[in-house]
Amino acid sequence: MDNRKIYIPLFFVLILALLFSSYIAVQRMGYEKANRNVEVVVDYSQIWELAKRNNVDIREVLEKLKESGVTGILAKEQLIDDLEAQGFLYIKSGAELALDENLSFRENIKKDYTYFITPFPEIYDRLKTHLDAKVGGIEAFTEENRGLYYVGSPLSARILNLEGIGVGFPEEGIKASQELGLSFIPQIRTWPEAKVSSFDAVFEQLEGVPNISVLAFNDPYVPGYPHLLPELKEQVKKIGAPVALIEFFDQKGLKKLALDLGKNAVKLHSISSDEMINITPSRALDRYVLAASERNVRVILVRLFQNVSSVSWLDFNSAYIKELRSQLESEGLHPGTAKPFGSFPISYLMLGVIGSGVAAGGIILLLQVMDKKTSILLGFCGVLIYGLLFFFDINTARKFMAFASAVIFPTLAVVSTYDTERKSMNASILNLIKAVLISMIGALFIVGLLSGTGFMIGLDQFSGVKASLLAPLILIPLFLVLKHDKDNPIKISAEILNDFVRYKWLFALGILALAGAVMLVRSGNEAGMVSEIEIRFREMLRELLLVRPRTKEFLLGHPIMLISYYLGYRRKYIPLVVLGSIGQVSLVNTFEHLHTPLVISIIRTFNGLWMGILVGAAVILACEFLGKWGKRVLNA
């Protein structure tokens, strides 16, 4: 069997794997299209503070914000400080209270206790219930003649606040949300040494609230972590609402809780109070809209602007939220109650075939530089490893083959399309398109292998992002030398290494190292090193193209790859080819961001390709023009 015949079964497996991956991709796009509600909520404590400061009724504020597009309120579990600041209680030490000779329970007062005094029976009930469950040793008294309620605690108010011990949710906020038709999102605080019995106290107030749409947690770890997660799960199930996965805030135990709840979770995005000090309304709107449209965020916590001089703060923020609603709707999103993505079925047969498709791609890559037997043997070893992992841990198997796909196909895209002959402009463009299509096969296999709700909302993710970015950039020059210098590749490799000591190669290596470092640092959603100029440039591209292409594709990778095809293979151009390969690696990396809607990733890839072709073609034409002009000048 010659080399051409061996490609027939390999292409058959590839096509079958592509069909299955495409089917899964279409399914995923259907799930993403069906879930377009975005909940726009405001912070109840901020609303309360602004309303009181400006002498406006809180319901009037909520009504106006609802008209603008707000669908709900989020309320953190209150602290003692909150209740004191809002005038719901005052505090006395036991020693102070013991001086009051008219108290009916004076003899029972403990001088080393701190007493919280309130005229509101619902606040009294909350204090008594929560402090008894979370702290213990509570003493409670009622002074009916004065209409006051007393709750004594062995811990001072300062310690209770420092430890963040919550004392329930504002009744006024819950009632207002129900009467105004708004959803209610409680944010539960964690407390030290949580016990099963204390869960009842926390969730008792919430069980009778019908308009809870999402349940959020406040602290770096959820209550009861790590030992009481099963008990916490049962309490959350009684509420019947999805849990909130707060973007860029890792809460220990939350992912495990969400998985145990059958992935009944939604992503929430907010801008911190510290960030709000310097952010502009337009920048804040961009963040919210991008989070919802490009990262499957379904709850947006909107913090309001406070220091507004031109108009009233309420009118300003109402217009601000109206603009947010308008921009969300322009992205095909609708203000409404957040819903989790539905269950995504997984077919073991499809996963097996797609994994085999990745292995087939690996064999085709190896055939570029190796004999048939070695290539098939190594490909079979990959399938065997996949099969063993599949048997013991299917999730690890899927991630293993997805990583392999991210390395194999960008490498194959460059190695299989880069020839020794110089190409015309049209032929170079066709080669670049061919390379992109090969890389897209790998991207589609990743989509097929890592399908599921957990990947779409960030409960799970692609493993080995940095390594998958770096590995092809190492393999591509190695494979090119082996492919195009077959007579004595070891000697050629030694010559190239010797060449690297020359100044120009050190310079080229420096550029490569810098490009690689920037790409690795800038490969996530929280990328650093982003200047103000670049942020504005990105915003401009997004306004013009709806979906912004990746800079390292249309300004770096694709143009340089086009130039490389135009020049043809020469050993001295290898650093140039490696830089050009960044476009293919970045393309596949786009689809490793599994929380990004698939349509967005496809449009981003397309925009990066055509813009990269324009940039590369412009550079080639400019160089040709300058070359001809230079010759004319010299010959004149």
Q: Which amino acid is at 323?
A: E
| pLDDT over 90, % of the chain | 66
CATH number at residue 218: 3.20.20.150
Q: What is the mean pLDDT of residues 390-402?
A: 94
Q: Do 272 and 160 belong to one domain?
A: no
Mean pLDDT of 407-416: 97
Domain with residue 149: its CATH number is: 3.10.28
Integer Cα distance of 528 and 510 in angstroms:
21
CA 367 – CA 351 distance, rounded (Å): 24
pLDDT-based confidence at residue 344 (cuts at 50, 70, 90): confident
Residue 340 has pLDDT above 70, yes or no: yes
Q: What is the pLDDT of residue 397?
A: 95
Q: Which residue has the tokens 């509570």?
A: 138
Residue 1 is predicted with a pLDDT of 44
Work out the mean pLDDT of the chain and round it to a whole number. Answer: 88
Separation CA 199–CA 176 (nearest Å): 25
Residue 511, pLDDT above cutoff 90:
no
Would 5 be classed as within a structural domain? no
How confident is the model at residue 527, as a pLDDT?
43
Write down how long the chain is.
Answer: 636
Report the pLDDT value the prediction gives residue 3, as an integer from 0 to 100.
64
Instruction: Output DSSP code: residue 571.
Output: G
For residues 263 and 236, the answer to whether their CB atoms sit within 8 Å is no
How high is the pLDDT of residue 377? 94
pLDDT given at position 210: 94
> Confidence class of residue 299 from pLDDT cuts 50, 70 and 90?
very high
Helix (H, G, I), strand (E, B) or coil at 170: coil
- SS3 label, residue 183: strand
User: Which are the contacts of 370, defined by CB distance < 8 A and separation ≥ 6?
Assistant: 378
Task: Please indicate, yes or no, whether residues 159 and 198 belong to a single structural domain of this protein.
Answer: no
Same domain, 306 and 247: yes
Taking residues 372-385, what's their average pLDDT?
92
Band (91; pLDDT cuts 50, 70, 90): very high
pLDDT at 142: 92
Provide the total of helices (H) and of strands (E) in the chain, helices listed first. 27, 12
Backbone angles phi, psi at 155, to 5 degrees: -100, 145
The token duo for 171 is 């009744």
Q: Is residue 360 part of a domain?
A: no
In the block, which residue shows the tokens 């509600």? 37
Q: 153 and 57 share a domain?
A: no
Kindly state the tokens that stand for 553: 């594709």
Q: Give the type of residue at 225.
A: Y
- State residue 528's pLDDT score: 46
End position of a domain, from candidates 311, 340, 369: 340
pLDDT tops 80 at residue 410: yes
pLDDT given for residue 54 in this prediction:
82
Burial class (CB in 10 A: 0-12, 13-18, 19+), 485: middle
- Quickly state the pLDDT bin for 80 (edges 50, 70, 90): very high
pLDDT exceeds cutoff 50 at 625:
yes
Please check whether residues 91 and 193 belong to one and the same domain: no
312 and 209, same structural domain?
A: yes
Question: Domain check: are 487 and 603 in the same one?
Answer: yes
Q: Do 320 and 428 fall into the same domain?
A: no
Q: Would 567 be classed as within a structural domain?
A: yes
Longest dimension (CA), the chain: 113
Query: pLDDT (tens digit, 9 = 90+) per residue, 222-268?
Result: 999 999 999 999 999 999 999 999 999 999 999 999 999 999 999 99
Domain boundary among 167, 194, 226: 167
| Cα atoms in the Cβ-side hemisphere of radius 13 Å centred on 234 | 8
Is 272 in the same domain as 179?
A: yes
Residue 100 covered by a domain:
yes
> For residues 515 and 478, what is the distance between their CA atoms, to the nearest angstrom?
19
Please compute the mean of the pLDDT values over residues 42-52 and round it to a whole number.
Answer: 91
pLDDT band at 55 (very low <50, low <70, confident <90, very high): confident
| pLDDT (mean) for 65-79 | 96
Residue 601 within any structural domain of the chain:
yes
- For helices 313-330 and 58-68, the axis angle rounded to 10 degrees is 30
User: Are residue 320 and residue 452 in the same domain, yes or no?
Assistant: no
The residue segments making up the domain with residue 615 are 390-524+531-633
Domain count, the chain: 3
Q: Angle, nearest 10°, between helix axes 3-34 and 372-392?
A: 30
Residue 260 lies in a domain: yes
pLDDT-based confidence at residue 504 (cuts at 50, 70, 90): low
- CA–CA separation, 396 vs 105, rounded Å? 64
Q: What's the confidence (pLDDT) of residue 437?
A: 98
Contact between 418 and 577 (Cβ < 8 Å): yes
> Does 85 reside within a domain?
yes
> Higher-confidence residue: 295 or 511?
295
Same-domain pairing of 224 and 153: no
SS3 per residue for 17-43: HHHHHHHHHHHHHHHHHHCCEEEEEEE
Tokens of 229: 């997660």
| Separation between Cα atoms, residue 383 and residue 252, nearest integer Å | 35
Three-class SS state of 117? strand
Among 167, 201, 230, which residue terminates a domain?
167
Q: Quickly count: other Cβ atoms within 10 Å of residue 480's Cβ.
A: 23
Is the pLDDT assigned to residue 277 strictly greater than 80? yes
Please state the rounded mean pLDDT for residues 399-425. Answer: 93
**pLDDT of res. 204:** 92
Mean pLDDT, to the nearest integer, of 438-448?
Answer: 98
In this prediction the pTM is 0.88
Q: Which residue has the higher pLDDT, 310 or 104?
A: 104
Range from 290-294, 384-388, 572-576 carrying the lowest mean pLDDT: 572-576
Average pLDDT over residues 392-405: 95
pLDDT class of 419 with cuts at 50, 70, 90: confident
Angle between helices 574-592 and 465-484 (to 10 degrees): 140
Q: Which helix (H) or strand (E) holds 199?
A: helix 196-207
Locate tokens 């002959």: which residue? 421
* Structural domain includes residue 429: yes
109 and 42 assigned to the same domain:
no
SS3 143: strand
pLDDT above 70 as % of the chain: 89
pLDDT value for 101: 80
Q: Are 296 and 31 in contact (CB under 8 A)?
A: no
